[in-house]
A and B are shown apart, each in its own frame.
Chain A
Amino acid sequence: MGSVVIRRLFTLIFTLIGASILTFVISHTIPGDPLAAILGERAMNNPEIVANYKARWGLDRSLPEQYGIYMLNILKGDMGQSISSQRPVLDDLKQYFPATIELALGSLTVTVFGGLVLGVIAALYHARWPDHLVRLIALWGSSMPVFWLALVALQIFYAKTGWFPGPGRLDSSFTPPPTVTGLFVIDGMISGDWGVVKNALYHLVLPSLVLGWYELGLIARTMRSAMLETMTADYVRTARGKGLKEKLVLFRHMMPNAMLPTITVIGLAVGGLMAGAVMTETVFAWPGIGRYAVDASELLDFPAIMGVTLLIATVFVVANLLVDLAYSFLDPRIRTE
């Protein structure tokens, strides 16, 4: 087990270096000038102001030099200054990431629980109406663009019926709780402000469902086909043959085996959630890493783009590490290898 973790951590380092070089080269070679985005046209005409900005953001150096400086600073825990927010990228990430984590946890709950349960039902009722219904839900989720889903959800459940609160993490009348974790639900609990906790949870429902639906479909379909496969497996027949109760067959023999491919998909789903967060956060005015990434790329804010990429790459690698660990936990064969 330990060697798996160490091997994965090595992979993490190489993944991050690869991702950083790729992002650095891409974001610096596409035509465009970040100064054009942040300085006014007249300020751009003042060589003193332009020189001052270029020096401030290191834009007056060569590309490899800029990359070298950047990586050296990263080792010192300094991710550079965001050009658009004019403050350390680390501060920006610290501020925005918790909002995304909160949203991702909400979505992951919807995705994993909903997906597993729906997948099992579909398999057990193979080729009957519950199966068709689940497949329809899965198809909807995977085929509808997240931003469109978000707009429709807001139109129906917020604008027309008022069942759910509008965009944002809290109603305007609430003051955000003092920051401890940055997750409003948790921080509300810590400060004992249950009004905030309820309101924050309430605000989480719609964006979580919208963001979770896509991956829910994926997991439900994977779980369904994995379950169908295990149903006809020899060991299931043997289990039934020796007179095991159906409940035990389902929970002890079928599900753990069907979970293995599904767990892989869940690991990948984390990446999907991060990508989906970009659109969901924009429509739901959710101040997370997704919106930060959109703003950064629109303004060609290199340090911010790099920061977001490295963070998401880390999340992705860590999620897959957890998947590997879960694998060896669930499958004794891998553990002994």
Chain B
Amino acid sequence: MKKNQTSRWTIWLAIVAVLSIILSACAPVATPVSLTEQPVSQPVEKQLVVARDMDLDTLDPHHAWSGTGQIVIKAMYDQLTNIDPNDPSKVLPYLATEWTISEDALTYTFKIREGVKFHSGNILTSEDVRFSIARMKNLKGSPAFLLDGMESVEAPDASTVVVKLVTPDASFLSKMSCQYMGIIDSKVAKEHGATDAVDADTTDTAQAWLDENSAGSGPFILESWTRNQDIRWVAFKDYWNGAADVDSVIMRDIKDITTQRQQLERGDIDIAMNIDPDTAKELQSNPNVVIKQQRGYNQVYIGLTGIEANNKDLATNQKLRQAISYAIDYDGLINFVLAGNAERAATIVVNGFLGADKVEPIQRDLTKAKQLMDEAGFPNGIDLDIFYPNATYYGVDFSVVIQKVQSDLAEIGVRLNPNPLASTVYLPKYKAGKLSMVLSYWEPDWMDTSTLIDSFATPTSLVAKRLGYVNEENGVLSAQALIETDPEKRAEIYGQIEQNMIDDAHLIGMIQPNVVLAYSAKVSNYIYNPAYTLDLYSIHKED
């Protein structure tokens, strides 16, 4: 092919054009500093930037149910009570300054804090509290079950709220600290369609408005929520407990752990909420980043056995279940497989909850396990299916845990056949009791042992029913614990239930994963809050 001067010209032009595209992409724009560090739109202030994989459904506290909701709803709405972040079994006054409980433990009378302002400027009264509790119950949204045992709520005067229960519930004050029990500004909310009427589930239209505005008395006022992008707040200067240290907060929705890590290292974010233990280890050498591990209150356990799965061996043979519980190498699992990033929980009652220290967790004992296998009638071993969500919860990769359990159980002749399932497939099957043996997870709904006992231990418990676990004594003890007001005696009762659970071996307590905190060295006072995960109000940031 013959080429003249012109064609070469054209080709060179083309090459220059492509190179310039590539270069303009790969090289820094002439003045990158001015692009990133001198925003025109907003004056510089003390801004806290949090990155989180956000699973936020709504900002309406009485409709919401999500992990991220714990943080963002707490930022805008106050509750009657609060949980001591260092001891989740302790309930502290918050919007309620004090309370009295009637002799029969059925009537709670709260004194409401005076002079508390809503974001609108309205003063918070007992009517707002009554309205909020009634709306929450009547909306029948996801968190409405928290009020299942409530008979009535009344506001006899401007600073008093009286709640009557159907049955005694020693955990009621703890439930009142849940972020979903947020008190909303009833005047403002009603103007936008909120109602506390019995038919609120069909007539209340305030959710869309509450997704864009905060109607609370909390430390932060909602500025905007752009789904999948970010949520922005400014500090509420008239907050009754004193304005927050930071002027504004942005929580950015960053799904990817690596991206969160990069942003933390670059100093573009102050707190990264989804750093896993492995990434945390790599970050440890960075002087601008603080890595801390704290006790978490979630749990990974083995459940035996699905009532509908009808596995007769597991269902009726207590010795077989016990053999399994003695064969697992818990220490090895936690220290080697999970690199020490977890604690051992003896039962579903996690360490730190009332009564957890009353029992000793089972330790691996192969001789005993083999003996139990013989007594159970399986000297030649048995084949068992185990089902689990094919996912990572609380930083624990379930498939890795399964491998370890599988090799541990092989030593006593239990041949485990692992069945990973997608979470949306796993949960409905497990809930229907169709899975004979599961590796599963749980997080407490409120910060009192009763939620765990109530969910797992009694014959009417939702998970116990699923597992076909019936222990009548636990039911009696649990009812006793709910009317027992002396914490030490309650702890003793829960201890008895826990011991029963260990002996019955329908549920094998395993892993209580630590929580990894990863944040900029400029941030202080960041502790993991068992009830709200991250209490934005407590955070301080250096300029």
> Which residues of A does B touch, CB under 8 Å?
30-34, 36-46, 48-49, 52, 84-87, 92, 95-96, 110, 113-114, 117-118, 120-121, 124-125, 130, 151, 154-155, 157-159, 162-169, 171-176, 193-196, 198-199, 202, 205, 209, 231, 240, 245-247, 250, 282-285, 287, 291-292, 295, 298-300
Are the CB atoms of A86 and B425 closer together than 8 Å? no
Are the CB atoms of B18 and A121 closer together than 8 Å? yes
CB nearest to A245 among chain B residues: B6
Q: Is B10 an interface residue (CB 8 A)?
A: yes
Counted as pairs of residues, one from A and one from B, with CB atoms less than 8 Å apart, the total is: 213
Per the bound structure, the CA–CA distance linking A295 and B53 in Å amounts to: 11
**Distance of A149 from chain B, by nearest CB (Å):** 13
Partner of A231, one of B1, B26, B255: B1
Partner of B445, one of A34, A40, A194, A247: A40
* Residues of chain A within 8 A of B269, CB atoms compared: 172
Are the CB atoms of A52 and B201 closer together than 8 Å? yes
Partner of A163, one of B27, B40, B47, B253: B27
* Residues of chain B within 8 A of A196, CB atoms compared: 40-41
Are the CB atoms of B255 and A282 closer together than 8 Å? yes
CB nearest to A83 among chain B residues: B57
Per the bound structure, the CA–CA distance linking A47 and B263 in Å amounts to: 44
Task: Knowing A43-B143, A43-B145, say if A166 contacts B266 (CB, 8 Å).
Answer: yes
* Residues of chain B within 8 A of A117, CB atoms compared: 14, 17-18, 21
| 22 cross-chain CB contacts under 8 A | A31-B425, A31-B428, A37-B423, A42-B462, A117-B18, A121-B14, A125-B11, A163-B28, A166-B263, A166-B266, A166-B268, A171-B36, A172-B252, A173-B44, A193-B40, A195-B38, A202-B35, A283-B258, A284-B259, A285-B259, A292-B228, A300-B424
Q: Is B190 an interface residue (CB 8 A)?
A: no
Per the bound structure, the CA–CA distance linking A283 and B263 in Å amounts to: 12
**Distance of B220 from chain A, by nearest CB (Å):** 16
* Residues of chain B within 8 A of A240, CB atoms compared: 2
Q: Is B285 an interface residue (CB 8 A)?
A: no
8 nearest interchain CB pairs?
A195-B40, A32-B424, A246-B7, A287-B228, A287-B229, A159-B262, A36-B427, A33-B428
Are the CB atoms of B259 and A86 closer together than 8 Å? no
* Residues of chain A within 8 A of B226, CB atoms compared: 95, 176, 287
Q: Is B63 an interface residue (CB 8 A)?
A: yes
Per the bound structure, the CA–CA distance linking A291 and B211 in Å amounts to: 20
Are the CB atoms of B263 and A167 closer together than 8 Å? yes
* Residues of chain B within 8 A of A154, CB atoms compared: 258-259, 262
The SS class assigned to the A binding surface is: helix
Per the bound structure, the CA–CA distance linking A41 and B463 in Å amounts to: 9
Chain B interface size, as a band, is 35 or more
**Distance of B234 from chain A, by nearest CB (Å):** 12
**Distance of B197 from chain A, by nearest CB (Å):** 15
Q: Is B102 an interface residue (CB 8 A)?
A: no
Residue among B63, B256, B442, B445 with most chain A CB within 10 A: B256
Q: Is B148 an interface residue (CB 8 A)?
A: yes
Task: Knowing A43-B143, A86-B58, A171-B36, say if A38 contacts B6 (CB, 8 Å).
Answer: no
Per the bound structure, the CA–CA distance linking A164 and B140 in Å amounts to: 48
Per the bound structure, the CA–CA distance linking A250 and B425 in Å amounts to: 58
Task: Knowing A52-B201, A175-B41, A231-B1, say if A121 contacts B57 (CB, 8 Å).
Answer: no
* Residues of chain B within 8 A of A86, CB atoms compared: 57-58, 63, 207
Are the CB atoms of A32 and B425 closer together than 8 Å? yes
Task: Knowing A84-B57, A194-B40, say if A202 contacts B201 (CB, 8 Å).
Answer: no
Per the bound structure, the CA–CA distance linking A49 and B11 in Å amounts to: 69
Are the CB atoms of B140 and A49 closer together than 8 Å? yes
Per the bound structure, the CA–CA distance linking A291 and B226 in Å amounts to: 13
Are the CB atoms of A198 and B35 closer together than 8 Å? yes
* Residues of chain A within 8 A of B442, CB atoms compared: 41
* Residues of chain B within 8 A of A292, CB atoms compared: 228
**Distance of A184 from chain B, by nearest CB (Å):** 11
Are the CB atoms of A168 and B229 closer together than 8 Å? yes
Partner of A41, one of B7, B21, B262, B462: B462
Per the bound structure, the CA–CA distance linking A117 and B19 in Å amounts to: 10
CB nearest to A96 among chain B residues: B228
Are the CB atoms of A113 and B41 closer together than 8 Å? no
Are the CB atoms of B144 and A33 closer together than 8 Å? no
Per the bound structure, the CA–CA distance linking A285 and B36 in Å amounts to: 18
**Distance of A268 from chain B, by nearest CB (Å):** 22
* Residues of chain B within 8 A of A173, CB atoms compared: 37, 39, 41-42, 44, 47
Residue among A30, A158, A245 with most chain B CB within 10 A: A158
Which residues 187-208 of B sit at the A interface, judged by CB distance below 8 A? 201, 207-208
Partner of B65, one of A40, A167, A175, A195: A40
Q: Is B281 an interface residue (CB 8 A)?
A: no
**Distance of A162 from chain B, by nearest CB (Å):** 7
Per the bound structure, the CA–CA distance linking A269 and B463 in Å amounts to: 50
Q: Is B287 an interface residue (CB 8 A)?
A: no
> B215-235 CB contact bits vs A (8 Å, 1 = yes)?
000000000001111100000
Are the CB atoms of A298 and B424 closer together than 8 Å? yes
CB nearest to A56 among chain B residues: B201
**Distance of A304 from chain B, by nearest CB (Å):** 11
* Residues of chain A within 8 A of B26, CB atoms compared: 157, 163
CB nearest to A53 among chain B residues: B142
* Residues of chain B within 8 A of A44, CB atoms compared: 431
Are the CB atoms of A39 and B252 closer together than 8 Å? no
Q: Is B250 an interface residue (CB 8 A)?
A: yes
Q: Is B15 an interface residue (CB 8 A)?
A: yes
Task: Knowing A87-B211, A298-B424, say if A172 contacts B41 (CB, 8 Å).
Answer: no
CB nearest to B27 among chain A residues: A163
Per the bound structure, the CA–CA distance linking A151 and B261 in Å amounts to: 12
Per the bound structure, the CA–CA distance linking A299 and B436 in Å amounts to: 25
* Residues of chain A within 8 A of B41, CB atoms compared: 173-175, 193, 195-196
**Distance of B11 from chain A, by nearest CB (Å):** 6
Partner of A250, one of B2, B10, B28: B10
CB nearest to A85 among chain B residues: B227
Q: Is B392 an interface residue (CB 8 A)?
A: no
Per the bound structure, the CA–CA distance linking A159 and B422 in Å amounts to: 33
Are the CB atoms of B266 and A162 closer together than 8 Å? yes
Per the bound structure, the CA–CA distance linking A14 and B525 in Å amounts to: 59
Which residues 433-483 of B sit at the A interface, judged by CB distance below 8 A? 442, 445, 455, 462-463
